[in-house]
Structure 1
Amino acid sequence: MSGEPDGYDCHRDGGPYAGVADFLGRIAADRPRLASRHAVELHAIAPRLDPAARPAAEEQPIRFHPARRTAALAYGAAEFAAAWAGTLRRPVTVRFDHVADADETTRELLDALARRTGPTALHLDLRDGGPARPEAADPTPEALRAALGDSLARGFYHHAARTARRGRATVTPHGDLRHWWGFTTGLATALAALDETTEALDLYREARAATDDPKITMSAAYATAMLYARHLPAADQDPEQARRWLAEALRLAADLDDPRQRTLSTVFYEQGVALLDSRAGEPARALRLIDDGLARLAAVLAPGERPQDLARLRHNRAQVHLALGDPARALADLDAVIAHDPDNCEYYVDRAALHRAAGRRRAAIRDLDAAIRLGPHLPEAYYNRATLQQERGRAERARADLERALAVDPGHLDARIALVNLHLRRGALDAAEAGARAGLALAPDEAALLCTLGLVLAERGRLAEADELFTRALAGDPKLVEAWTNRAAVRFDRDDVAAAVADLDRAVALSPDPVPRYNRGTALLRLGRWDDAARDFADALARPDLDRALRRDLRAELRRARRAAAR
């Protein structure tokens, strides 16, 4: 890469991805074919690389990206940089300045680069200081509003929050209500995305105290309802408060002068009511609201207008159809949703789940491929695709997907558990133990990981430690059949057969799976309880879809138990 600058300025005054976006842009110019394979993440990080990119036209888009998306962007960008570094013929050192004052997106990406590039020809020189920076001019409220809208639309919430706070410091509700409200609701939106919901509630409370402007109080009422319905921590969510604020938003929407805007606002707010109805076990009532909303939108929208609004309602309806036990209609809605809004990764994840439930694994994998491409690198899509690959007997592909999911989101416990179990099944005890311990460092009481680590230690002959781990797992999840079954196996091996039977009694009571019955029958044979053992073997044999080897073993043990009982 010729003409490398002395250093890239990462100061947060340069906005999200300051410095790193310029670095990635230079690589992209150097390796356009490689860049094309990472277009989604590169265009999100550095929009100037996308010839079709446009600034965010609205400050309140139909949907907001989740805050975790930046981790996926960082993963993809680091993969791109690592692939480029692998082609270098001589070492290259790249300096990044003002890292201590960088935006969160920049620091996250630099961390990902440091992890991924590792022992390659690319060396990162990260400096907290750097050349003196010129003093920035104070931007106008209009410029701050534009920057705020762009950051919200792109999912860069820390920068959005800083920008909104800066804007609020320049205006007052009495001197410039329009800008003050724009900064206030923008700050609340960013805080909600960052799970700082208490302050977001306070901001809407402040807005209602500052003005009686009906449009502002209407928007504040709806946003407050959604905080109570979905954004507050689960223990603090309050459906009744949410309904009260939705009723207030709908009352104010009914008084809007413009009949078209009145319809749009009313339909939009009623989707919140439908969400609450569905959660309250009233999916039929939710369905009526959504159907009515779609009909009213069709009456006021021109063909092709606001496709994302229509897609969102149909997506809501698909979820309700599922709740009503109608997957065919849910699939039809999701097909229409994707036709309306083909760039939304979550729709493909939902449709993949329907395909998988219907046994259409290839179609499910295609949808998950699309979700990963559009997401990009959505951990949940990697995890779901890994599950499908395991079902198809493709363990190595499953392992690669699980490792990718964890590279993007090290805290993805389901992926961690699945990967550890995959290591265990292939006999890679060291990898399984390391993975389980890494997961337990993040979630010390996770029962499934405690159980899996117990299995590893049992395989190593450390039976007392394994017994303790299974006991800890059961303290956290008394319904974990695997822990009862595996603790029973350990106790059987330690010659505590009566305790093993007691554990297997619990497992059998919790699950129709034939394995606990087989194991209990084996333990009962050891105790000389031939008739009881025969009943367990016979019950296990009556289960459908038995593995051929298990069926053979059960028949042999049943004959043995009956012969012993007949003596």
Structure 2
Amino acid sequence: MSTTSTHVWLTGPEPASEPLPQSPPQPRPRREPRQPTPAPEPDITVDCHRRLRGPYTGAGGLLRALLPHIRREQPELPDRHRVEIHAVAPELRGLVADPPSTLTDRAAPAERTRLHPRTRTRRLAHGIVELLLSYVTAADLTRPLVLGFTRVGEADPADQEFLALLLRRAEPGRITLVVHTRDAEPELLEQELASALRQYATHRALPAAPPRRFPHRTHPYALVRAFVTSDGTSVDPAESAAYERADRHVRARLHDARAAELHARVEQGGVTLGLGALPYHLERGSDPAAAAPVLAAAAEDTLAMGCYHALLDLARRAQAVTPEDAPLSTELSLHTKVTTALALLGETGEAERLHLRMRERYSNPLVRLLGDYALAMLHARFHPPERRDLSAAKALLTRTVTLASRLPGTEQRAFHTAFQENGLALTELRLGRPADALRLIESGLDRLRRHLPDTAHLLHRSVLLRNRAEVHAALGRLHAALADHDAVVAMDPHHPEHYFDRADIRRRLGDPAGALADYDRAIDLAPPYWELYFNRADLRLESGDAEGALADLRHAAALEPDRADIRASLVGALLGVGDLPDARAQVTEGLRHHPDDAHLLCERGLIALREGADTSARADFDRALAVAPHLVSALAGRATLAYAAGDDDAAVADLTRAITLEPTDPDLLYNRGYAHQQAGRVYAAHADYTAALRLPGADVVELRARIEECARRP
């Protein structure tokens, strides 16, 4: 039986070998125990090189090898993660129920006006991690399931993100990872994965192995063919050298043959080959332009997946092989994909440069329209805060609304005008003009109703309704906001974000049961992300469900343990149930990552206060208030210490500041009233108790008793 207590990180050269099989070997999760080895032998080994199958080469390969076994042993488990499985390994659709489709899924590319957030890949990765954790927990294996991942340095960032999360969340006693990279300090690794390897894996350097000899591959042509058959990923120096020396026509013929073979496999269901190996060979074949539509389709697929690193790579490669006489629509489509990826990946300066260059090249009204809109969104949404310019965004969008109103064709003109007005509404809302934003959105909705068929641009209609709900909420019209959210849910009932948005409005309207139902539905529909569990925990705390809130906060912390706000809320919930040891452990871990976080410092002060360590508590409250002077919980905690020390005036001063910040908290008023009462200021105490009595959540019995005490005092 394996005795490894950590994951394993292997570095060193990869031995040249026969071409890797296209499907990983089947898992062997119930083998007899074996003696410890320097590195445990993997039950499944997957190649992560992105050139093979694109962004989820590794995660998809793992699922293709393991999911049939999971389906046999735990038939209901895969369907709980069907959204993630369909996105990461679409070849497995026959083994998993289809996820319910959304308007975003069904929208034609030209009508896709909603994009996945950049965190989409993180959510998918967490879902696959939880599928694996659920499987090994229920299977009760006699030893860890050992998973091997090779050529990780050549993996797409989406795969590297998945591996980083799996390293952190998988207990080596249940799932042991063996991760291979060529270098101990690999420059090609994403920062999160490099950090996870150092923290959670034991590093072992592999000795240099003598090259393996394959007599049937000594002829130069055989070596070139072997290199091409490896889809250009061979680590055999003889193969790569032979390939470089080979006649370009010979290479092109071999690439053509391999592309034809892979195309047939794509047609038979090997979808992800079209994201990796197939376009690679077409680009190097006898007609590189043949790769253009395949690369463009692959870019469209990765856009729909939310894999923006892969989108950027594929769209740029498509641009490189697209003929110069291609239609303007093709050039514009690829330009939009490149700049969208750049904006979402934070490379906003490069995106702006490309938009300006495109605007200089063309006077076409539609090109100017789309370019100015994209520039406006950079200024309103995507640029770093210090570079955003809402006034510039408004000027650009005012111009695009005019341009849209002059486009030919009633339907095209109506859609583009409504789209531009929606962007202008966002800018007006951020400029603090919600009434103007509302007018623009309603104008767009009315225009679509009057000029487009009822079934056209349903996705954008839902976006407009969702945005109108946000504006209604900003204006305090919560019932109108709820009506719009209800309409969006009716139009697009399987999109989890709609329930998340509606839950917030229901909470504000005093409907905790409805809000909880919406959070539950969103969790059922979505891959896991921390905001859902965090918000549901807050609602459960308000409703008195401390146990449910703790479970949600622990799940949120498991998803994103480095977020200080999650950790602080978890500590607060633990204090609420009196679990001081766990609260202290959580706050210590949180402060290790965020030593100056005011909320965590305050929570540590509250723990010290509970334990009678007044000096430590006071120091933490002071440090928290130095960072965040308006932190009410720290003011209240320091007031408690001042009162206990007999300094009623200091207690009243801190509580007065706290009440100014949260005037509807009856407990703050009660505490100040009590401090006034103990200091002999009966009238001030009576006023605070009376004010507290009028607030929701007040302890009516206690307050009335205090008021009577004040009335009896002369």
- 1:44-73 deviation per Cα after TM superposition (whole angstroms, max 9, x unaligned): 222223356999952772211111122221
- 1:537-558 deviation per Cα after TM superposition (whole angstroms, max 9, x unaligned): 5522442267999556556666
Residue in 1 aligned with 2:78? 35
The one of 693, 696, 700 aligned to 1:544: 693
User: Please, which moves more after superposition, 509-518 or 381-390?
Assistant: 509-518
Deviation at 1:124, TM superposition (A): 1.8
What is the DSSP-based 3-state SS (H/G/I as helix, E as strand, rest coil) of the residue aligned with 2:368? helix
User: Please, which moves more after superposition, 130-139 or 304-313?
Assistant: 130-139
Deviation at 1:154, TM superposition (A): 0.9
The one of 655, 675, 685 aligned to 1:504: 655
Deviation at 1:10, TM superposition (A): 0.6
What is the DSSP-based 3-state SS (H/G/I as helix, E as strand, rest coil) of the residue aligned with 1:8? strand
**Which residue identity is paired with 2:133?**
A
Q: How does 1:345-364 map to 2 (within 5 A)?
A: 345-364=496-515
The answer (yes or no) to whether the contact 1:9–1:18 under 8 Å persists in 2 is yes
Between the aligned partners of 2:85 and 2:542, the Cα distance in structure 1 is 33
- 1:502-535 deviation per Cα after TM superposition (whole angstroms, max 9, x unaligned): 4334334444444445444555566xx42x1553
1:194 lines up with 2:339 in the alignment: no
- 1:283-318 deviation per Cα after TM superposition (whole angstroms, max 9, x unaligned): 333333222222221233323232211111111222
The answer (yes or no) to whether the contact 1:93–1:123 under 8 Å persists in 2 is yes
**Which residue identity is paired with 1:137?**
H
The answer (yes or no) to whether the contact 2:676–2:685 under 8 Å persists in 1 is no
Q: 1:121 to 1:326 in 2, by over 3 A?
A: closer
The answer (yes or no) to whether the contact 1:95–1:126 under 8 Å persists in 2 is yes
1:386 lines up with 2:537 in the alignment: yes
Between the aligned partners of 1:74 and 1:335, the Cα distance in structure 2 is 30
1:288 lines up with 2:439 in the alignment: yes
Between the aligned partners of 2:619 and 2:375, the Cα distance in structure 1 is 47
What is the DSSP-based 3-state SS (H/G/I as helix, E as strand, rest coil) of the residue aligned with 1:3? coil
Between the aligned partners of 2:107 and 2:503, the Cα distance in structure 1 is 30
1:71 lines up with 2:122 in the alignment: yes
Q: 1:506 to 1:335 in 2, by over 3 A?
A: closer
Deviation at 1:6, TM superposition (A): 5.9
The answer (yes or no) to whether the contact 2:672–2:688 under 8 Å persists in 1 is no
The one of 405, 408, 432 aligned to 2:583: 432
User: Please, which moves more after superposition, 547-556 or 299-308?
Assistant: 547-556
**Which residue identity is paired with 1:9?**
D
1:89 lines up with 2:89 in the alignment: no
Unaligned runs of 5+ in 2: 1-23, 28-42, 100-104, 183-205, 207-211, 213-226, 233-279, 284-290
Q: How many matched pairs? A: 562
The answer (yes or no) to whether the contact 2:414–2:452 under 8 Å persists in 1 is no
Between the aligned partners of 2:526 and 2:586, the Cα distance in structure 1 is 26
Between the aligned partners of 2:348 and 2:684, the Cα distance in structure 1 is 57
Q: How does 1:103-502 map to 2 (within 5 A)?
A: 103-129=156-182, 133-135=230-232, 136-139=280-283, 140-170=291-321, 179-494=330-645, 496=647, 498-502=649-653
Deviation at 1:276, TM superposition (A): 2.2
The answer (yes or no) to whether the contact 2:506–2:514 under 8 Å persists in 1 is yes
Between the aligned partners of 1:20 and 1:495, the Cα distance in structure 2 is 62
Unaligned runs of 5+ in 1: none
The answer (yes or no) to whether the contact 2:411–2:451 under 8 Å persists in 1 is yes
Tell which structure's C-alpha radius of gyration is larger. 2
Q: 1:548 to 1:11 in 2, by over 3 A?
A: closer
Between the aligned partners of 1:60 and 1:336, the Cα distance in structure 2 is 20
- 1:447-490 deviation per Cα after TM superposition (whole angstroms, max 9, x unaligned): 22221121112223332232122122222332222222211222
User: Please, which moves more after superposition, 61-70 or 475-484?
Assistant: 475-484
Q: 1:469 to 1:138 in 2, by over 3 A?
A: farther
The one of 12, 21, 24 aligned to 2:50: 12
What is the DSSP-based 3-state SS (H/G/I as helix, E as strand, rest coil) of the residue aligned with 1:93? strand
Q: 1:208 to 1:90 in 2, by over 3 A?
A: same
Residue in 2 aligned with 1:98? 151
The answer (yes or no) to whether the contact 2:292–2:319 under 8 Å persists in 1 is no
- 1:104-129 deviation per Cα after TM superposition (whole angstroms, max 9, x unaligned): 11112122222333144432221125
Between the aligned partners of 1:117 and 1:280, the Cα distance in structure 2 is 45
Between the aligned partners of 1:309 and 1:149, the Cα distance in structure 2 is 19
User: Please, which moves more after superposition, 169-178 or 466-475?
Assistant: 169-178
Between the aligned partners of 1:447 and 1:368, the Cα distance in structure 2 is 28
Deviation at 1:204, TM superposition (A): 0.9
The one of 88, 92, 117 aligned to 1:45: 88
Q: 1:211 to 1:459 in 2, by over 3 A?
A: same
Q: Once the two structures are aligned, what percentage of the paired residues are identical?
A: 38
**Which residue identity is paired with 2:582?**
A
Deviation at 1:211, TM superposition (A): 2.9
Name which structure has the greater RCO, CA cutoff 8 Å, separation 6+: 2
Q: 1:155 to 1:241 in 2, by over 3 A?
A: same
User: Please, which moves more after superposition, 322-331 or 102-111?
Assistant: 322-331
Q: 1:378 to 1:170 in 2, by over 3 A?
A: same
Deviation at 1:201, TM superposition (A): 1.4
Q: 1:367 to 1:517 in 2, by over 3 A?
A: closer
**Which residue identity is paired with 2:47?**
D
Deviation at 1:156, TM superposition (A): 0.7
**Which residue identity is paired with 1:475?**
A
What is the DSSP-based 3-state SS (H/G/I as helix, E as strand, rest coil) of the residue aligned with 2:499? helix
Between the aligned partners of 2:174 and 2:117, the Cα distance in structure 1 is 34
Between the aligned partners of 1:251 and 1:241, the Cα distance in structure 2 is 16
1:21 lines up with 2:60 in the alignment: yes
Between the aligned partners of 1:73 and 1:24, the Cα distance in structure 2 is 13
User: Please, which moves more after superposition, 491-500 or 307-316?
Assistant: 491-500
Deviation at 1:11, TM superposition (A): 1.1
Between the aligned partners of 1:18 and 1:278, the Cα distance in structure 2 is 42
Deviation at 1:436, TM superposition (A): 2.7
**Which residue identity is paired with 2:112?**
P
Q: 1:298 to 1:177 in 2, by over 3 A?
A: closer
Residue in 1 aligned with 2:275? none
Between the aligned partners of 2:696 and 2:499, the Cα distance in structure 1 is 34
**Which residue identity is paired with 2:527?**
P
Deviation at 1:224, TM superposition (A): 0.8
Between the aligned partners of 1:471 and 1:302, the Cα distance in structure 2 is 62
- 1:78-130 deviation per Cα after TM superposition (whole angstroms, max 9, x unaligned): 11111212205343322211112211111121222223331444322211259
Deviation at 1:170, TM superposition (A): 4.4
Between the aligned partners of 1:200 and 1:410, the Cα distance in structure 2 is 32
Deviation at 1:345, TM superposition (A): 1.9
What is the DSSP-based 3-state SS (H/G/I as helix, E as strand, rest coil) of the residue aligned with 1:7? strand
- 1:396-448 deviation per Cα after TM superposition (whole angstroms, max 9, x unaligned): 11111112222223344443322110011112223222323433444444322
What is the DSSP-based 3-state SS (H/G/I as helix, E as strand, rest coil) of the residue aligned with 2:393? helix
Deviation at 1:231, TM superposition (A): 1.8
Q: 1:540 to 1:233 in 2, by over 3 A?
A: farther
Between the aligned partners of 2:350 and 2:487, the Cα distance in structure 1 is 38
Between the aligned partners of 1:545 and 1:71, the Cα distance in structure 2 is 46
User: Please, which moves more after superposition, 180-189 or 163-172?
Assistant: 163-172
What is the DSSP-based 3-state SS (H/G/I as helix, E as strand, rest coil) of the residue aligned with 2:56? coil
Q: 1:357 to 1:166 in 2, by over 3 A?
A: same
What is the DSSP-based 3-state SS (H/G/I as helix, E as strand, rest coil) of the residue aligned with 2:453? coil
